[in-house]
């Protein structure tokens, strides 16, 4: 599988999994109750034949970000960042010899993780729960904002 074929496959599975295209990446579908937006993008490794999935979480009300302003997501540093789970990174490594069929199945499994993660990360409490289970690291200023009572956020 070539890099181009992989990117096309990734895009097709992202679309099938409900992610919406946004610039060079994708954003998880937004619901009215969401307090955060979750994005993913592919990044080519600089010295290896592999890619990374960058996962970003943008929290409504922090640093002037508002969920309604999707254009703000592009080119802006996420409030919380992580990459794909290490045990799933082999699907993104093109030095690993696996069949195209297996790579496709593993990519579908990766999107199961991404959808579960994004569903949790779309709320402040869900994001704090992900940190509690060591699925993300939240820096102190962002954690402070996440824990602030809603009345104090305006």
Strand residues in 70-123 grouped as ranges (E)? 80-83
Condensed to tens digits (0 to 9), the pLDDT of residues 31-51 reads 777 889 999 999 999 888 899
Q: What is the 3-state secondary structure (H, E, C) of 68-87?
A: CCHHHHCCCCCCEEEECCHH
Domain that holds residue 14: 3-152
* Rounded average pLDDT over 72-84: 84
Contact between 66 and 51 under an 8 Å Cβ cutoff? The reply is: no
Q: Which residue has the tokens 């956020």?
A: 153
Strand order in the sheet with 20-22: 20-22, 25-27, 36-44, 51-59, 80-83
Condensed to tens digits (0 to 9), the pLDDT of residues 135-153 reads 999 999 999 988 887 766 6
Total domains in the fold of the chain: 1
Total residue length of the chain: 154
User: Roughly what angle, to the nearest 10 degrees, separates helices 100-121 and 3-16?
Assistant: 40
pLDDT above 60 for 154: no
pLDDT of amino acid 7: 92
Confidence class for position 72, pLDDT limits 50, 70, 90? low
Percent residues over pLDDT 90 in the chain: 62
Per-chain mean pLDDT for the chain: 89
Confidence class for position 65, pLDDT limits 50, 70, 90? confident
pLDDT of amino acid 83: 95
pTM over 0.85: yes
Condensed to tens digits (0 to 9), the pLDDT of residues 105-143 reads 999 999 999 999 999 999 999 999 999 999 999 999 999
């Amino acid at each position: 599988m070539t890099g181009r074929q992989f990117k096309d496959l990734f895009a097709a599975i992202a679309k099938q999994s409900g992610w919406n295209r946004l610039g060079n990446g994708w954003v998880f579908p937004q619901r009215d109750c969401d307090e955060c937006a979750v994005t993913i993008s592919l990044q080519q490794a600089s010295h290896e034949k592999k890619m990374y999935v960058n996962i970003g979480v943008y929290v409504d009300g922090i640093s002037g970000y508002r969920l309604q302003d999707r254009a703000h997501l592009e080119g802006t540093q996420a409030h919380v960042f992580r990459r794909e789970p290490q045990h799933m990174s082999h699907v993104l490594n093109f030095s690993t010899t696996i069949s195209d069929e297996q790579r496709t199945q593993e990519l579908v499994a990766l999107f199961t993780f991404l959808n579960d993660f994004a569903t949790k990360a779309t709320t402040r409490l869900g994001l704090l729960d992900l940190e509690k289970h060591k699925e993300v690291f939240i820096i102190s200023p962002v954690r402070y904002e996440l824990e602030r009572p809603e009345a104090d956020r305006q």
